[in-house]
Amino acid sequence: MFPQPQATASVTQQDKQVDPPRKVVKTDAEWKKILTPDQYVVLRQKGTERAGTSPLNHNKEKGIYYCAGCHNPLFSSDAKFESGTGWPSFFRPIAKNAVAEESDNSYGMVRTEVECSVCHGHLGHVFEDGPKPTGLRYCMNGVALKFEPK
């Protein structure tokens, strides 16, 4: 189904906890001042970018993917894989408490929404059709992420 990523030492990070999540709370007006219009629609209004439009989809550099809204570290490049879906995909977050999951029953579907654990910005969804070692596919909106190379 999906190519299997190379097992690395970072695979053991799934149980790692980052510092207790801080909380970022802003008004809509404050979010609109710091986010681009596309980021605002995705992060604050649970929008979805068009498949294949994010330059991060094909990024192969080593580094960390952060929340575009609050700079919370979310995913390591070591967990990124090519899913063929048109969105950046990862098989695990950088730490257990980096993201939060919520039930999403919109559009007549039952899915699991993934949010930033700090600002609760919408990032995408997680599905159970990913590669080993987790079997998960965190399908993220690239516009909701900021990449910083190592």
The answer to whether position 65 is within a domain reads: yes
How far apart are alpha carbons 94 and 17 in whole angstroms? Answer: 9
The catalytic residue among 43, 74, 126, 139 is: 139
Residue 137 φ then ψ, to 5°: -130, 105
Question: Residue 96 maps to which CATH number?
Answer: 2.170.150.20
Annotated ligand binding at 116? The verdict is: yes
The answer to whether position 16 is within a domain reads: no
The answer to whether position 13 is within a domain reads: no
Model-level pTM? Answer: 0.85
The answer to whether position 81 is within a domain reads: yes
The answer to whether position 86 is within a domain reads: yes
Q: Which residue has the tokens 């190592």?
A: 150
- Assigned token pair, 37: 């219009």
The answer to whether position 134 is within a domain reads: yes
- Spatial CA neighbour of 69 closest among 33, 137, 132, 119: 119
The answer to whether position 140 is within a domain reads: yes
Model pLDDT for residues 100-135, shown as the tens digit of each residue: 999 999 888 899 999 999 999 999 999 999 999 999
Report the domain count for the chain: 1
DSSP-assigned beta bridge partners for residue 146: 66
Q: Tell me whether residue 128 is one of the annotated catalytic residues.
A: no
Local structure of 124: helix, strand or coil: strand
Annotated ligand binding at 70? The verdict is: yes
The range of the structural domain enclosing residue 44 comes to 28-49+59-149
Annotated ligand binding at 113? The verdict is: no
pLDDT of 16 above 60: no
Judging by DSSP bridges, how do beta strands 122-127 and 73-76 pair with one another? unpaired
Annotated ligand binding at 26? The verdict is: no
pLDDT of 27 above 90: yes
The answer to whether position 34 is within a domain reads: yes
